[in-house]
């Protein structure tokens, strides 16, 4: 048996097809979900993909959070449905208060697209079981508003509870993808909720799943195999 993983398409979503491909390559069944449809069609997990939902008008993720599909996603995520937010999806999750903090414009004020070194800090979430804590991975980063911020108390809480899931690795040459790419506080690239079912990150694991494509690395595939294993073994 396999698992059904939904990918929501909002107007302006860009990486929906890529996310469905990654899910398929991991061995799960991708299911296309539509923003105007409240029904999640019995999926076992949901991916909120990258892009510019609703043109990023107002603020990245701010409008998508109020779409019909999100009502159900928010409700079910609170009940334990695994949800992964990638880039714009991460922004939507913070706007929906499923994850704390928020994203501001990159400190250098430019869009940045590059292969990025990350350290897996928490390998116990629903989406990171196939990594080991401390493992360094390289996956593409591409965004305009990727600077993670939160108030001091939230940051302390995230750190204390081990909820920083991914951190930008800073001790290496920038040419090799090291370094904090946008001024994110505590070098945070991704976080999880306390239950470990909701994870958000700015870099794009779905772009690193095939040896020939993009950077040629497959460091992002374990996101999708992790959730598949978790769902199948559940």
The verdict on 110 binding other proteins (CB under 8 A) reads yes
Which segment (10-18, 72-80, 147-155, 164-172) binds other proteins by CB under 8 A? 10-18
Q: Pick from 41, 68, 71, 113 the residue near other proteins by CB under 8 A.
A: 113
**Cα(50)–Cα(18) distance, integer angstroms:** 10
Kindly write out the interface string for residues 62-101 of this chain, putting x where it contacts other proteins by CB under 8 A and - elsewhere: ----------------------------------------
Q: Where are the beta strands (DSSP E) in the chain?
A: 4-9, 29-34, 45-48, 83-86, 102-104, 112-120, 136-143, 147-149, 164-168, 188-192, 198-201
The verdict on 18 binding other proteins (CB under 8 A) reads yes
Which segment (38-46, 187-195, 202-210, 221-229) binds other proteins by CB under 8 A? 202-210
> Residues 35, 87, 95, 121: which is the catalytic one?
87
Q: Is residue 204 among the annotated active site residues?
A: yes
CB of 116 to other proteins, least distance (A): 11
> Residues 35, 49, 121, 206: which is the catalytic one?
206
**Cα(76)–Cα(21) distance, integer angstroms:** 24
Contact, 159 vs 189, CB < 8 A?
A: no
Q: What are phi and psi of 201, to 5 degrees?
A: -150, 155
The verdict on 55 binding other proteins (CB under 8 A) reads yes
The verdict on 157 binding other proteins (CB under 8 A) reads no
**Cα(215)–Cα(209) distance, integer angstroms:** 10
Q: Is residue 161 among the annotated active site residues?
A: no
Which segment (6-14, 76-84, 119-127, 155-163) binds other proteins by CB under 8 A? 6-14
Which segment (7-15, 38-46, 116-124, 188-196) binds other proteins by CB under 8 A? 7-15
Q: Is residue 113 among the annotated active site residues?
A: no
Q: Pick from 104, 144, 149, 185 the residue near other proteins by CB under 8 A.
A: 144
Rg (CA), the chain: 16
* Residues found near other proteins in the complex (CB under 8 A): 11-12, 14-15, 17-18, 21-22, 50-52, 54-57, 108, 110-114, 140, 142, 144, 175, 204, 206-207, 209-210, 212-215
Positions marked active-site: 87, 204, 206
């Amino acid at each position: 048996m396999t698992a059904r993983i939904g990918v929501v398409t909002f107007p302006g979503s860009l990486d929906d097809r890529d996310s469905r491909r990654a899910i398929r390559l991991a061995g799960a069944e991708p299911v296309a979900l539509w923003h105007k449809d409240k029904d999640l069609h019995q999926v076992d997990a949901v991916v909120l993909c990258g892009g510019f939902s609703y043109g990023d008008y107002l603020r990245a993720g701010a409008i998508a959070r109020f779409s019909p599909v999100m009502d159900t996603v928010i409700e079910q995520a609170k009940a334990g449905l695994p949800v992964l937010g990638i880039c714009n999806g991460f922004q939507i999750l913070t706007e929906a208060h499923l994850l704390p903090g928020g994203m501001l414009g990159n400190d250098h004020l430019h869009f940045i697209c590059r292969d990025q070194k990350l350290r897996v800090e928490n390998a116990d979430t629903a989406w990171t079981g196939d990594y080991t804590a401390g493992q360094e991975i390289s996956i593409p980063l591409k965004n305009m508003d990727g600077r993670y911020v939160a108030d001091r108390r939230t940051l302390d809480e995230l750190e204390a509870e081990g909820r920083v899931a991914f951190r930008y690795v800073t001790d290496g040459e920038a040419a090799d993808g090291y370094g904090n790419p946008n001024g994110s506080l505590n070098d945070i690239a991704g976080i999880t909720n306390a239950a470990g079912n909701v994870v958000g990150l700015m870099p794009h694991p779905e772009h690193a799943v095939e040896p020939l494509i993009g950077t040629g690395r497959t460091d992002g595939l374990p996101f999708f195999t992790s959730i598949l294993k978790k769902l199948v073994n559940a």
